[in-house]
Amino acid sequence: MFFYFYLGELDNILFGWLLFNVLVLGGKKFIFWLNIQ
């Protein structure tokens, strides 16, 4: 039971990290695009 809970938490951390990276990269590309305009 504890192991299953730990895997679930790990999954949330990985998903959060992925989402964070997407937002950061998206923000950088958006700022870069604004500078081109």
What is the total count of domains within the chain? 1
Would you state the pLDDT for residue 25? 94
Domain that holds residue 20: 7-36
Q: Does residue 28 fall inside a structural domain?
A: yes
Say how far residue 16 (Cα) sits from the centre of its chain. 5
Q: Cα-atom radius of gyration of the chain, to the nearest Å? A: 16
What pLDDT is stored for residue 5 in this prediction?
61
What's the pLDDT at 28?
A: 93
Distances (CA, A) of 26 to 4, 22, 23, 35: 33, 6, 5, 14
Using DSSP, state whether 1 is helix, strand or coil. Answer: coil
Task: Render each residue's pLDDT in the chain as its tens digit; 37 residues.
Answer: 556 666 678 778 888 899 999 999 999 999 999 998 8
Closest to 24 measured CA to CA, from 14, 34, 16: 16
Residue 13 covered by a domain: yes
What pLDDT shows up at residue 2?
A: 58
pLDDT at 4: 62
Asked if residue 2 belongs to a domain, the reply is no
Q: Confirm whether 1 is domain-assigned.
A: no
| 32 vs 35: CA distance, rounded Å | 5
